[in-house]
Copies of this chain bind each other. A is one copy, B any other.
């Protein structure tokens, strides 16, 4: 591994692990060049790469700072439903119907976490202007994000977006008919078409959350854009 790669990796892992919190300032290039005993260009290359990757933000004279978790830099927005509904001028509300700490082994979901890991199980309904638009069932790795167990939030997705940067995610998107319980919660008849999104996110290799969301057809659409992204410049 080359030196600049090592410097980059050092800070990357500290940022991803949370040792360096969002907003925190990194040492100056001067300091790092003494610390690693190398030329400034070498340090600069490493930090510039981190900046291009969106992990840090650099400001002249001020310094280099760990970037705040980015919502929009990824190819597909991880939607913060609250913000989206508000952007359409509707009133948003999330009604929590379940909040319980469970062992991973007891969770009725296949998720690649160790059975002894504590999970916070959450479920509830998203409302736009008091009309139900989505049903959500979520598990959060309470070992990785202990704060959430006591946290107050208006919606779990929004809270996570603000507090826990994710570095990796996958999504599975299907269409499904609402089953009895789901249909009842969403106040539609059984068999109504829904958009089903299952998503898992990680910070590094550490699982953060698994969520299954069921959107009423017509109430929501997913938009994705692929191409030269602003974050890659």
A interface, how many residues as a size bin?
35 or more
Q: How far is the CA of A85 from the CA of B36 in the complex (A)?
A: 51
Q: How far is the CA of A75 from the CA of B231 in the complex (A)?
A: 14
The answer to whether residues A225 and B176 also contact, given A74-B75, A193-B193, A217-B193 and a CB cut-off of 8 A, is no
Q: Is A173 an interface residue (CB 8 A)?
A: yes
Q: Is A76 an interface residue (CB 8 A)?
A: yes
Interface of A is mostly: strand
The answer to whether residues A75 and B175 also contact, given A193-B194, A195-B195 and a CB cut-off of 8 A, is no
Q: Is A52 an interface residue (CB 8 A)?
A: yes
Contact partner, A232, options B174, B192, B232, Cβ 8 Å: B232
Give the segment of A60-68, A111-119, A150-158, A164-172 that binds chain B.
Answer: A164-172
The reply to whether A169 and B217 form a contact with Cβ atoms under 8 Å apart is no
Q: How far is the CA of A168 from the CA of B225 in the complex (A)?
A: 8
Q: How far is the CA of A215 from the CA of B220 in the complex (A)?
A: 17
User: For residue A105, which residues in chain B have a CB less than 8 angstroms away from its CB?
Assistant: none
Q: Is A222 an interface residue (CB 8 A)?
A: yes
Q: Can you list 27 contacts pairing A with B, beta carbon distance less than 8 Å?
A: A53-B228, A53-B232, A74-B75, A75-B226, A76-B76, A76-B226, A167-B227, A168-B225, A169-B227, A170-B224, A170-B225, A171-B222, A172-B221, A172-B223, A173-B173, A173-B195, A174-B195, A174-B217, A174-B222, A175-B175, A175-B215, A176-B193, A176-B218, A191-B191, A191-B193, A195-B195, A232-B232
For the A-B complex with A170-B225, A171-B224 known, give 17 more contacts whose Cβ atoms are closer than 8 Å: A52-B232, A75-B226, A169-B225, A169-B227, A170-B226, A171-B222, A171-B223, A171-B226, A172-B221, A172-B222, A172-B223, A174-B217, A174-B221, A175-B215, A177-B193, A193-B193, A232-B232
